[in-house]
Chains A and B, each alone.
Chain A
């Protein structure tokens, strides 16, 4: 994950897309949540939250 964040930082600098950093972070967290939902062991916990 740290490696990915470093890569995203480098990418944002190279292409001057700093404005996308918050969006990326939000989406990665959201994506991670969706992945967790897919795993049955976590599902009851996620369902309880919602």
Chain B
């Protein structure tokens, strides 16, 4: 049973291929097209998936689209009807794209596949999954759990914005849902917009900004914006939101409540912005905790699977794990809409009776560490480097590790390009930028000289899984960097820094722990645990760094610069290396030092 899942036409297009329930490949189109959150038909991703599975289009049993377009169209129409005549302009802006493309998705997908493979794909093999069922399938089927509660939280798909249910064996049942326009994802996105960040992209910046502020607006949000019930269900006050009728998220009433118009991206971040970020983050966490308790009461399952864009909020996930009723939590690493492609393919495969065979294997998680994208051989990497005239050395495996540790301890920032590309928004040690987390200057250096991004944003540690409990207060592994934990007090600097007069970004440069580059201002960290079974070379690198320095973790951030997708190919990596102040690039067994290179124009 071969199923190809596709998500496309909204944002974050992707394709995934599943063979007899086993995930063979999955990749986001942006990684090939180099357009962030590319919404086009995932031509390159589909092509790659078929190549990775070594099959032809005719071999596919199903192509599955990740949502039901008619339901979405129905939601749009009913929303416009409910608000008419308001929203007239945005409705007429949306209508042509529906009349031209989205209502004819069956034909559109078949046409695209025909253009790609020069043969007709039968319409009876093209099927559509519910948006939240795709998310739920992406969370439950690859999880290590025989049975689990399921919580799906996102902006909106067709109608559902929040779904709860249960997965057991081969089946998923979503029993309750909250519908558009009431949406935690859209609530958080409204604040993302208000704080001057891009909707669907900047939500993690709001999460990163939150610890700098105080939750002074929580009451204002709870009193005016959201009616949050004890069971986690909620209703938004639409007087404050404009997304139903307009192309912006908030109204002037919202602006008045929070003391001014939305921040422009070029404007500086003030204490007020930080307090707002902290407040909405607190409200979101409270809602997620309540919903988690409701899932537990409804299902009595000891494990929980999470998906949907809101499940990328690792601070809320960490709280749910620590304070919630569940013993274990598993979050789909591609929790956003890109993961819908994988979920759609899994839903059809398991719906047809394919068994979850990964449960009998070790590790029990079926995601293969999320390393599901393209890889390049050493020969391909060297051929490219030779072609562009790069100066490089090819080393044996042990030398690669040792030389990389040398560079890290010499405070160099290292581009680390290995094996298969990660699926989802996090770089997990195959397309990563690495640095020494003990350095007090490293956070600033990587933000401003390498990533060219906002100075306030924190970095994550990748730590040997076996050392997790020694360093972080986190009761479970966090293989996909989707849980936030606190650094244990034994690693805090003594005496603690005097921060009484410090507010907002003034807190940034203060050294709080032995690992300042990965410690956020509230002593938290978005942890990634590294396991030998899923990434052996990265694990060996961390072990070597540990034996040399006594520190079992490195700073790990995605291999890209601001507003660009994570690198995919050796060419992308080389360009990024040459265009930034990165000192060393390791690709497979080849190592490049910036000081030895000609400028890129050469």
A residues contacting B by CB (< 8 A) are 3-4, 7-8, 11, 15, 17, 20, 23-24, 27-28, 30-32, 34-35, 38
Q: Are A3 and B99 in contact (CB under 8 A)?
A: no
Q: Are B70 and A11 in contact (CB under 8 A)?
A: yes
Collect the chain A residues with CB atoms within 8 Å of residue B83's CB.
Answer: none
**Is B107 part of the binding interface, using a Cβ–Cβ cutoff of 8 Å?**
yes
**Is B563 part of the binding interface, using a Cβ–Cβ cutoff of 8 Å?**
no
Collect the chain A residues with CB atoms within 8 Å of residue B95's CB.
Answer: 27, 30-31, 34
Q: What is the CA–CA distance of A22 and B498 in the complex, to the nearest angstrom? A: 69
Q: What is the CA–CA distance of A17 and B75 in the complex, to the nearest angstrom? A: 12
Q: What is the CA–CA distance of A13 and B343 in the complex, to the nearest angstrom? A: 27
**Is B495 part of the binding interface, using a Cβ–Cβ cutoff of 8 Å?**
no
Q: What is the CA–CA distance of A47 and B123 in the complex, to the nearest angstrom? A: 38
Q: Are A31 and B74 in contact (CB under 8 A)?
A: no
Q: Contacts A8-B70, A11-B70, A27-B77 known; A35 to B100 CB distance under 8 Å? A: yes
Over the window 92-107 of chain B, the binary record of Cβ atoms lying under 8 Å from chain A Cβ atoms (1 yes, 0 no) is 1001101110011011
Across the A-B interface, give the 6 residue pairs with the lowest CB-CB distance, nearest first.
A31-B99, A34-B96, A31-B95, A11-B70, A35-B100, A35-B96
Taking the closest CB of chain A, its distance from the CB of B542, in whole angstroms, is 53
Taking the closest CB of chain B, its distance from the CB of A28, in whole angstroms, is 6
20 A-B pairs, CB-CB below 8 angstroms?
A: A3-B107, A3-B123, A4-B103, A11-B70, A11-B71, A17-B74, A20-B74, A23-B81, A27-B77, A28-B99, A28-B103, A30-B95, A30-B99, A31-B95, A31-B99, A32-B99, A34-B92, A34-B95, A35-B99, A38-B96
Collect the chain B residues with CB atoms within 8 Å of residue A20's CB.
Answer: 74, 77
Closest to B76 in A: A27
Closest to A11 in B: B70
Q: What is the CA–CA distance of A26 and B96 in the complex, to the nearest angstrom? A: 13
The majority secondary structure among interface residues of chain A is helix
Q: What is the CA–CA distance of A12 and B435 in the complex, to the nearest angstrom? A: 57
Taking the closest CB of chain A, its distance from the CB of B85, in whole angstroms, is 15
Collect the chain A residues with CB atoms within 8 Å of residue B74's CB.
Answer: 11, 15, 17, 20
Q: Are A4 and B99 in contact (CB under 8 A)?
A: no
Collect the chain A residues with CB atoms within 8 Å of residue B100's CB.
Answer: 31, 35
Collect the chain A residues with CB atoms within 8 Å of residue B92's CB.
Answer: 34
Collect the chain A residues with CB atoms within 8 Å of residue B81's CB.
Answer: 23
Interface contact tally, CB-CB below 8 A: 39
Collect the chain B residues with CB atoms within 8 Å of residue A24's CB.
Answer: 77
Collect the chain A residues with CB atoms within 8 Å of residue B77's CB.
Answer: 20, 23-24, 27
Q: What is the CA–CA distance of A27 and B71 in the complex, to the nearest angstrom? A: 15
Collect the chain A residues with CB atoms within 8 Å of residue B71's CB.
Answer: 11
Q: Are A3 and B96 in contact (CB under 8 A)?
A: no
Q: What is the CA–CA distance of A8 and B99 in the complex, to the nearest angstrom? A: 13
Collect the chain B residues with CB atoms within 8 Å of residue A3's CB.
Answer: 106-107, 123
Over the window 557-591 of chain B, the binary record of Cβ atoms lying under 8 Å from chain A Cβ atoms (1 yes, 0 no) is 00000000000000000000000000000000000
Q: What is the CA–CA distance of A7 and B517 in the complex, to the nearest angstrom? A: 55
Q: Contacts A20-B74, A20-B77, A23-B77 known; A31 to B98 CB distance under 8 Å? A: yes
Over the window 223-257 of chain B, the binary record of Cβ atoms lying under 8 Å from chain A Cβ atoms (1 yes, 0 no) is 00000000000000000000000000000000000
Q: What is the CA–CA distance of A31 and B77 in the complex, to the nearest angstrom? A: 13
Q: Within the complex, which residue of A7, A27, A34, A35 is in contact with B70, where a contact is CB–CB below 8 Å?
A: A7
Q: Contacts A11-B70, A23-B77, A27-B77 known; A34 to B99 CB distance under 8 Å? A: yes
Q: Contacts A17-B74, A23-B77 known; A31 to B104 CB distance under 8 Å? A: no
Q: What is the CA–CA distance of A23 and B99 in the complex, to the nearest angstrom? A: 13
Taking the closest CB of chain A, its distance from the CB of B239, in whole angstroms, is 27
Taking the closest CB of chain B, its distance from the CB of A46, in whole angstroms, is 13
Q: What is the CA–CA distance of A3 and B111 in the complex, to the nearest angstrom? A: 15
Taking the closest CB of chain B, its distance from the CB of A9, in whole angstroms, is 11
Interface residues of B in 29-77 (CB under 8 A from A): 70-71, 74, 77
Q: What is the CA–CA distance of A36 and B110 in the complex, to the nearest angstrom? A: 23
Q: What is the CA–CA distance of A3 and B114 in the complex, to the nearest angstrom? A: 18
Collect the chain B residues with CB atoms within 8 Å of residue A27's CB.
Answer: 77, 95, 99
Closest to A33 in B: B99
Interface residues of B in 128-150 (CB under 8 A from A): none
Q: What is the CA–CA distance of A17 and B95 in the complex, to the nearest angstrom? A: 20
Collect the chain A residues with CB atoms within 8 Å of residue B96's CB.
Answer: 31, 34-35, 38
Taking the closest CB of chain B, its distance from the CB of A39, in whole angstroms, is 10
Q: Are B98 and A4 in contact (CB under 8 A)?
A: no
Q: What is the CA–CA distance of A4 and B99 in the complex, to the nearest angstrom? A: 11
Collect the chain A residues with CB atoms within 8 Å of residue B98's CB.
Answer: 31
Q: What is the CA–CA distance of A23 and B368 in the complex, to the nearest angstrom? A: 47
Closest to A10 in B: B70
Q: What is the CA–CA distance of A45 and B70 in the complex, to the nearest angstrom? A: 31
Q: What is the CA–CA distance of A38 and B106 in the complex, to the nearest angstrom? A: 23
Q: What is the CA–CA distance of A31 and B104 in the complex, to the nearest angstrom? A: 13
Collect the chain B residues with CB atoms within 8 Å of residue A38's CB.
Answer: 96
Task: Kindly list 8 other residue pairs between chains A and B, CB separation below 8 angstroms, not including A3-B123, A31-B99, A35-B99.
Answer: A4-B104, A11-B74, A23-B81, A28-B103, A31-B98, A31-B100, A32-B99, A34-B99
Taking the closest CB of chain B, its distance from the CB of A1, in whole angstroms, is 8
